Amino acid sequence: MQYENLTVEEIQQQLEQIEQSRTDLEKALEQRRQQAKHDIAQEIKDMIADRGYDLGDVLPLLTGRKRRAAAARKGDRHYVRYIDPENPDNVYVRGVIPGWMKQKMLDQGYDPSSKGDREAFKANFLQAADD
């Protein structure tokens, strides 16, 4: 096809058709991948049953030690709670820094985006609560 003979609108229309085809192909590919996963899972289940084993007995062997160990430890996690001594309702555990903490950090000359400043602020201005 000679693209130089096409108008701007025709080229745009061709591009839109190509993009739609790409979207359709990506959806079809994802559906095939999902079906292939289900198919292989069923083959494995059938193989386990054909050999006289229970799926629940074999499945832990497939997940590996790291996952089993991590799952066992998951409930043992402990995070320090930091409490604002000026207002005990202000509590920080982990994750996104709450607005009250950001403001107090800025008031004290700390940079909330700096991990070192966050750690120093927690050590100097907040109370660690052991639960």
pLDDT tens-digit readout, 75-97: 667 888 899 999 988 999 888 89
Evaluate if residue 27 carries a pLDDT over 80.
yes
- Provide the percentage of residues in the chain whose pLDDT is more than 90: 52
Q: Kindly list the domain boundaries of the chain, sorted by start residue.
A: 8-73, 81-129
Tell me what pLDDT residue 51 has: 92
Tell me what pLDDT residue 76 has: 64
DSSP H helices in 51-125: 55-63, 65-74, 99-107, 115-125
- The pTM is what? 0.42
Band (pLDDT 50/70/90 cuts) for residue 71 is: low
Q: What is the rounded average pLDDT of the residues 93-118?
A: 91
Q: Work out whether strand 87-92 and strand 81-84 pair parallel, antiparallel, or are unpaired.
A: antiparallel
Tell me what pLDDT residue 8 has: 93
Q: Are 106 and 112 in contact (CB under 8 A)?
A: yes
